[in-house]
Amino acid sequence: MTVSRTLGLLVALLVLAPGLASAQAPPAAPAAPANGESSAAAAQPAPDDPDRDFNRSQPDFVVVNLPTTLRLPKFKSAFRVTHRFGRPLGQGSFGDLADDLFGLDSGAQIGLEYRFGLMRGLQVGIHRTSDRTIEFFTQYNVWTQADKPIGLGVIASIDGTDNFKDSYTPAIGVAISRELGKYGAVYVEPMWVNNSNRLPSELVDDNDTFMVGLGARIRVRPTLYIVGEFIPRSGNTPGVNHGTFGLEKVVGGHTFQLNFSDGFGTTMGQLARGGTGKDDWYLGFNISRKFF
């Protein structure tokens, strides 16, 4: 219960932070024009929002599964679909693997995600995976590297199994990023995941997972990136520590990513529960689209 209360307080701070920030910020919009000059003023374009500019170091809102510190512009949105194919790449001979088109013939855990910018720096979203887990998440990007040496985002999420009717797993943490000029970015993301064990706490030694997401996105060609993540954990640590790497192509508002992972997890609760623990790797992909 102490852990839950501490978690609640931290989440309260997270939720309050944007409110405090907005209270301190100067008014962004110009004063309303007087009657009679409204039509000319209304025709003027809105002030340029730097959050809408393409960021070559952080072209997307996630690396593979871990969030980046890219800001989603106010009232804009983005969509992502994830696939993690179920065929272990090490199963059988290379011929067998080729016959199965490297896993594409097998079933997959599919995720659908939509996120929306509520206010400057604050986004909320929903992510559902085909094992009927639904995750609600929010992220407030406090700093960007435009005015600080690092980017900083505060993240809170909760996922629930059986279409959010069972086994709830809240998580809070921060995403710290360091952009490497225009050649990519590296990430460190300490996260606390509560109730990561689906059994009652009376029956388990650890009911929570503390994990540190480590991620990188390196730009190797003008629109081509190499991505990777590794997530060491402590506390409740079933399976193996999540690891993934992949290749990503950015085309306009789309991002196409082919990845290889040691598990199927895409939500914070799933990542806390680790990979399959069978020393297997699986093919997967992410496709995302920005609506701005």
Decide: is 33 part of the binding site for other proteins (CB under 8 A). Answer: no
Shortest Cβ distance from residue 127 to other proteins (Å)?
17
Q: In this chain, which of 58, 141, 194, 286 binds other proteins, going by CB under 8 A?
A: 194
Decide: is 271 part of the binding site for other proteins (CB under 8 A). Answer: no
Please identify, using beta-carbon distances, which residue of 5 and 221 lies nearer to other proteins: 5
Shortest Cβ distance from residue 114 to other proteins (Å)?
19
* From 13-21, 210-218, 235-243, 283-291, span contacting other proteins (CB under 8 A): 13-21
Decide: is 142 part of the binding site for other proteins (CB under 8 A). Answer: no
Decide: is 28 part of the binding site for other proteins (CB under 8 A). Answer: no
* From 4-12, 28-36, 215-223, 248-256, span contacting other proteins (CB under 8 A): 4-12
Q: Report residue 185 as tokens.
A: 């970015």
Cα torsion angle, 291, 61, 79, 107, sign: positive
Shortest Cβ distance from residue 131 to other proteins (Å)?
17
Measured between alpha carbons, how far is 190 from 97 in angstroms, rounded to an integer?
A: 36
* From 41-49, 141-149, 166-174, 181-189, span contacting other proteins (CB under 8 A): 166-174
Please identify, using beta-carbon distances, which residue of 96 and 131 lies nearer to other proteins: 131
Decide: is 199 part of the binding site for other proteins (CB under 8 A). Answer: yes
Q: Report residue 266 as tokens.
A: 């895409």
Instruction: Give the distance between the most distant pair of CA atoms in the chain.
Output: 77
Q: In this chain, which of 69, 195, 261, 276 binds other proteins, going by CB under 8 A?
A: 195
State the burial class of residue 152 (Cβ atoms within 10 Å of its Cβ: 0-12, 13-18, 19+): middle
Give me the residues that bind other proteins (CB under 8 A), please: 1, 4-5, 7-9, 11-12, 15-16, 18-19, 22-23, 156, 158, 167-170, 194-195, 198-204, 207
